[in-house]
Amino acid sequence: MHPLISTDDLMSALRAEPHPTLLDVRWSLQGPPGRQAYERGHLPGAVFVDLDTELAAEPGPGGRHPLPEPQAFQSVLRRAGVDADRPVVVYDADNGSAAARAWWLLRWAGHRNVAVLDGGYAAWVAEGKPTDTENPEPGDGGFRVRPGSMPVIDADEAARTARVGVLLDARAPERYRGEVEPMDPRAGHVPGARNAPFSAHTAGSGRWRSPAELAEHFAGLGVRAGQPIGTYCGSGVTACSVLLALEHAGITDSRNPAALYAGSWSNWSADPDRPAITGEQPG
């Protein structure tokens, strides 16, 4: 499955059998909780999955959103009715930055048929497509988590990727430059990392830019197919948007994916022995 699905294609898929399992992962770093939005309305049959507690382990030395433990994640997916032989579509409010985390985790866990709804809930509602407020009971799914299908790197490997390939920082430019740091111990970026803000992947409507536009965007950052590519952000959430954008652009694919530095800046900045670069240049 392509990493993105349009609202019209999803509508058609929901009329077919087996229709996709829908996961609502609306989330905002500053709140309010996504479940509040879900309870006001969601796609019919969608199950809410909480990013902070179900798409991540407890915060700690590994960062603010460490990868979930495989067994815990398996329980979350089975509760949501996820099966290996049934496609999964995930969505968030609009720009896909949170949904990309769920997309990546499902791929990491071994699911081969996952997509993000282009434009998210906002696009679905804007087109007058159906919503409801029911809390579905999908029944237990049978998906078995087999972690490792997508590459993960640690701090040392991220530093090496910045030297021998390209390491992309998905945070807003002002955080990359070290002008502000609202969440983590220190400001700045990993030496050699290049700023690739997740906000550049979508238009103002929240819909994703075309593959050609994104390919040009990444080329401007010095990204080339076949080289080592790693991504990070504040805590490993919006970095997954970069991974999806790279695949949408045709730069990477399931056989040659880019890697996620899961601990991201929240892990790097907590170690006082690791340098932090400030300013616009990678360093």
Residues marked as catalytic: 233
**Which residues sit opposite 48 in a β-bridge?**
24
Whether residue 18 is preceded by a cis peptide bond, meaning omega within 30 degrees of 0, is yes
Ranges of H-type helices in 88-227: 99-108, 120-126, 155-164, 173-176, 211-220
Structure tokens at 69: 């433990």
Instruction: Tell me if 154 sits within 8 A of 181, measured CB to CB.
Output: no
Residue 209 DSSP code = P
Q: How far is CA 175 from CA 171, 180, 188, 276, 278, in A?
A: 6, 5, 7, 12, 9
User: What is the rounded distance in angstroms from the CA atom of residue 183 to the CA atom of residue 70?
Assistant: 27
Instruction: Tell me if 61 sits within 8 A of 267, measured CB to CB.
Output: yes
User: What is the rounded distance in angstroms from the CA atom of residue 208 to the CA atom of residue 221?
Assistant: 18
Structure tokens at 108: 């990491």
Say how many CA atoms lie within 13 Å of 12 toward its Cβ: 4
Q: Count of CB atoms within 10 A of residue 45's CB?
A: 15
Q: Count of CB atoms within 10 A of residue 134's CB?
A: 9
Q: Is 169 helix (H, G, I), strand (E, B) or coil?
A: strand
Structure tokens at 155: 């701090």
